[in-house]
């Protein structure tokens, strides 16, 4: 099973709302990632979790708050977003062995619209 699932598929939220994006994988991967992709642009890395600990934060605004409650789940909590945060949010996972490089498996993404 090489599947990464993301919920919801689509989300519309107001600027004062609080919402969460969820990501799940059952491949035994111990690294999980959040990417943001604006229309017609490549994905941009936001956060990396390794063994459930935040290892990379690409200077993401605090209105995005990641959480990794266990090795299979990754959440992205959203609060006080701006319309320019509207994008496709992608989750990915990969192995972590000896700090080497492994392929990442991506979910289908959550299409977020901030009104």
The pair phi, psi for residue 13, each rounded to 5°, is -140, 150
For residues 90 and 34, the answer to whether their CB atoms sit within 8 Å is: yes
Residue 77 beta carbon to other proteins: minimum distance, rounded to whole angstroms: 21
With binding defined as CB under 8 A, does residue 90 bind other proteins?
yes
The DSSP string of 26-92 is: -S---EEEEEEE-TTS--EEEEEEETTEEEEE-S--TTEEEEEEETTEEEEEEES--GGG-EEEEEE
With binding defined as CB under 8 A, does residue 25 bind other proteins?
no
For residues 78 and 66, the answer to whether their CB atoms sit within 8 Å is: no
Q: Which residue, 35 or 64, has its beta carbon nearer to other proteins?
A: 35
Among 1, 16, 42, 70, binds other proteins (CB under 8 A): 42
Among 48, 74, 76, 87, binds other proteins (CB under 8 A): 48
Q: Which residue, 60 or 80, has its beta carbon nearer to other proteins?
A: 60
* Interacting residue ranges for other proteins, rule: CB under 8 A: 4, 31, 33, 42-45, 48, 50, 55-56, 88, 90, 92, 94, 96, 99-109
């Amino acid at each position: 099973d090489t599947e990464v699932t993301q919920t919801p598929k689509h989300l519309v939220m107001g600027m004062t709302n609080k919402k969460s994006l969820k990501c799940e994988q059952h491949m035994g991967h111990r690294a999980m990632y959040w990417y943001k992709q604006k229309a017609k642009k490549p994905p941009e890395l936001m956060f990396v979790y390794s063994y459930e600990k935040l290892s990379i934060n690409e200077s993401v605004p605090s209105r995005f708050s990641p959480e990794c409650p266990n090795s299979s789940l990754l959440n992205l909590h959203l609060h006080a977003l701006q319309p320019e945060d509207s994008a496709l949010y992608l989750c990915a996972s990969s192995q972590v062995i000896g700090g080497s490089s492994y392929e990442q498996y991506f979910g289908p993404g959550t299409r977020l619209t901030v009104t």
